[in-house]
Structure 1
Amino acid sequence: MTQTHSAPRSAETVAHHRPAFHLRPPRGYINDPNGPIEVGRDVHLYFQFRPTLDLDVPVEWGHATSSDYVRWTLHRPAMAPLPGGPDRDGCWSGNTVRDGDRIRAFYSGRIDGRPYQSVLTAVSDDGGNSFGPPRQSIPDPLPSEQAIMFRDPFVWREHQAWWMAVGAGYTDRGASIALYRSTDLQDWTAEGALAELPRSHAAGEDTGAAWECPQVLTLDGRRIAVVSSWSPEGGPNQVLSFDVDTPANPHRVDHGTNFYAASALRDSRFGPLLFGWLTEGRDSPGWTDGWAGVISLPRVVWLGADSSLRSAPVPTVDSLRTGSGSAADGARTTPHCEIEVPRGSGRVVVHFDDQERLEIELDEAANTLAINRGQAGLDPHAHDGWMQATDAFDRTSERPAARVFLDGSVVEVFTSAGRVLSTRHYPTTPPPWRIEAPPNARHWTLAR
């Protein structure tokens, strides 16, 4: 961070950082979304949750439901570590499926000091509100396999069978997705690797020593893996996607700085969806207000001409709009809003005050959209930086050139070609803020 001074931080000065329409509990630490599933009229979404910011507290599965994917009701955690059980130090990432009239979860159970998180299963008999005791589904890797990581199951049904993908990495083979098959969700047979890739760089991205949170979608009749690249020395890196039935050619899923641990819903009323964890974008000494982490807007996904994954927000996000108006120069905004740029090049700047601003540049000739948060805040704990998406615009699409969503400290920008950039910003100046935008841009306040 280039700035070296900041305004004093207090509950009042950081209130405008809190998201209003992005999912998160009022306090505590959240990270990976887990197991979205539609049950009747509602979608259930689980997420990694600690009720405090103490990262030594074991992880639970937080729980929220929604009838429209944008207005969420929080519930008590659906799953907690079983004392003395195989998840006694944390219920970590996984997904859920229907098992007859039950909801069955598959997830990673953590026991401190063990080299791997065991793949566990637990059943809900109350529609997904709570899960019973766990049992192990598949064996942990043998020492001879030289696995450096093995966790995060993802289960789905296809071709009259159940399939399980598990994130892995091996000393001699690189990043991998281990594949298992079952007829009954009880007994699983190892089927080798769904995909593997020695660590390398693809389109400038580190493909990782291992892959966390593997998700498998079927798009245009093709099996598309979505993985979170990870390495022992660097930890989380980027979310990547690729066709598992061709030589792996990973593409970045989000071109911002703060999207990780994607979680897929293969079939929804809107088609295949992705959720993600929006990481903090600030150093932990700045977590003075009792919360950290947030879940992204749900994203409808499809394949671009280059086989990369493209995204748009769920259509129901439009129902949050109030107070429609022009976003022309001088318009005032709250921290919870949408700015839409219909077509062409342009510049959107949100001025927090004379020193703090967020800049978004649309360059139709270069076909790029860039976000600059280098002057977005004077808080010394906040990260700055510049990010860019190429192949950003599709002139044949009915989607606007860009949709900019601001929600407290959250920024998500979607382009007409389905590129998305997610980041975080921490202006010290409270609202109202001033918008600088092209004359044809529009603005809405968004309210749940």
Structure 2
Amino acid sequence: MTQTRSAHRSTGTVAHLRPRYHVRPPSGYLNDPNGPIELGSDVHLYFQSRPTLDLQAPVEWGHATSPDYVRWTLHRPAMAPQPGGPDTDGCWSGNTVMDDGRIRAFYSGRVDSSPYQSVLTAVSDDGGASFGPAHQVVPDPAEAVMFRDPFVWKENGTWWMVVGAGYVDRGASLALYRSPDLSEWTAVDPLAELHRTRVGGEDTGSAWECPQVLTIDGRRIAVAASWSPEGGPGEVLSFDVDAPPAPQRVDHGTDFYAASAMRESRFGPLLFGWLPEGRDRPGWNDGWAGVISLPRRVWLGADSSLRSAPVPTMDTLRTDSPGSTAQLEIVVPDASGRVVVHFSDEEYLTFELDADTFAIDRSHASVAPYAHGGRMEVADAFDPASDRPAARIFLDGSVVEAFTSAGRVLSTRVYPTAPPPWRIEAPANTQCWGLAR
């Protein structure tokens, strides 16, 4: 199939790179998603954001709501640093829970003079639009490489909290606490620990940040981001906490980090993530950076890895024709062949389906000097017995998220200089839609 629009050179605008159906403030810097939670008919999603691209500006909790997980409304920030308070230099990552009908947040409060981000809690009395004053709930550690990012959940009548940590002598750690009432917390043995190593080619990190805990098929599955002092962020990994940790990648693309989980939703367990920029800082030329991923239904594969698919309501964004838009969904029914999105004669993005492997090659996706290139791939990509197509590919300006029938997902960023209309070269039975909020 060929969807044809004559490609042309860019006139210098970058408006076509702005995502439209992914969550993103109109300007400023966005990173970690935080505390997605359903309240009534809406889902609330919070996220770290700064009003400008100045990374020295204190982090706030941005806020968006949706009735269907795909059409989002942005609101004023729900949480801002308290001058002189325990989060005076930033409200960082955490999650939310329901507490007697109110949304309660647990998060990391940054104070630049402290080596750690203190674990704080704050309550919303206006349906999640804003949060009141914060206070610390557990003491900072006496000695750690890193300690931050609480995640709280209720299991068998007891509240639990895991905090990302790392220690010189113990390696990466998930510090664990329990509480009968969300007020008094008692430290217990770590939920999991692992000395830094490589598993399946992945660096497990000297510490774990942004930990999340899901219960799937009766198994407790941790999702955490590997981190090291010298290298910073690594990859998002998942593993069964009731077995010796054997971390596996959650996303096989180049740009996915800081996952945030919903243990329960109308679609079952879900995962959101931060899609950072795939371009060098001088290329941030439009006043914004960072996007939240599509919400993903998750389950366990036969190898115990976490698998993903877009929420069912993504179908409701489809329009009759792709038209001349940078918002596209491409559905490939069969696990063989190539899909090429031709942005111009010089710029093109390639998706390859071959045997059990799915790959994305962005080596020629942009002639912009700051855009990243390269090829990414994943094996065990297809499940002919599933009712899912071999690949569902979502483009939203500079964002690419591709899901395979076996639940593999690859997220990346591309920066073609040529705006739409674009030309799609694909097998004859491929379907393509424009997407509109």
Question: TM range, normalised to the smaller chain?
Answer: over 0.9
Q: 294, 297, 304: which is aligned to 2:291?
A: 294
1:347 to 328, 338, 347: 338
Cα–Cα, structure 1 residues 208 and 427, in superposed 2: closer, same or farther, change >3 Å? same
Aligned to 2:95: 95
Partner of 1:36: 36
Equivalent residue for 1:246, pick from 236, 243, 246: 243
Partner Cα distance (2:13, 2:348) in 1: 17
Q: How does 1:55-70 map to 2 (within 5 A)?
A: 55-70=55-70
Deviation of the 1:102 alpha carbon: 1.3
Letter in 2 for 1:431: P
The DSSP-based 3-state class of the residue aligned with 1:132 is: coil
Counterpart pick for 1:396 among 382, 385, 402: 385
Aligned equivalents of 1:334, 1:133: Cα separation in 2: 44
**In the alignment, which of 342, 348, 358 is matched to residue 349 of structure 2?**
358
2:325 paired with 1:334:
yes
Residue 333 of structure 1, CA deviation: 5.2
Change (3 A) 1:54 1:8: farther
Residue 334 of structure 1: CA displacement? 2.2
Match of 2:165 in 1: 168
* Match in the other structure for 1:4: none
Is 1:235–2:224 an aligned residue pair?
no
Give the Å deviation of 1:430.
1.2
**Would you say the 8 A contact 2:61–2:79 is kept in 1?**
yes
Shift of 1:113: 2.3
Q: CA shift at 1:324, angstroms?
A: 4.7
Native 8 Å contact 2:10 2:418 kept in 1: no
After superposition, give the CA deviation of every residue in 1:110-157 in whole Å (9 maximum; x if it has no partner): 000211000000010111110000000100001xxx310000000000
Give me the whole-angstrom Cα distance separating, in 2, the residues matched to 1:219 and 1:414.
20
2:178 counterpart letter in structure 1: R
Match of 2:5 in 1: none
Deviations 1:165-189 (A, max 9, x none): 0000000111000000000000000
The percent of aligned pairs where both chains have the same amino acid is 74
Using the alignment, how far apart are the partners of 2:375 and 2:301 within structure 1?
Answer: 24
The residue type paired with residue 306 of structure 1 is D
Normalising by structure 2, what TM-score?
0.97
Which residue number corresponds to residue 309 of structure 2? 312
Distance 2:219 2:391 in 1: 28
Q: Please, which runs of 5 or more residues in structure 2 have no aligned partner?
A: 1-7
Query: In the alignment, what sits opposite 1:329?
Result: none
Q: Are 2:320 and 2:434, in contact at CA under 8 Å, matched by a contact in 1?
A: yes
Q: Give 1:13 deviation, angstroms.
A: 1.8
Distance 1:217 1:172 in 2: 28
Contact 1:350/1:357, CA 8 A, preserved across alignment = yes
1:263 is aligned, of 235, 260, 265, to 260
Q: Is the 8 A contact 2:335 2:382 kept in 1?
A: no
Whether the 8 Å CA contact 2:220–2:242 is kept in 1: the answer is yes
| 3-state DSSP of counterpart to 1:323 | coil
Letter of the 2:225 counterpart: S
For normalisation by structure 1, the TM-score amounts to 0.95
Q: Does 1:410 find its partner at 2:399?
A: yes
Distance across 1 between alignment mates of 2:116 and 2:170: 17
3-state DSSP of counterpart to 1:261 = strand
1:21 maps to what in 2? Answer: 21
Counterparts of 2:309 and 2:29 in 1: how far apart (Å)?
A: 27
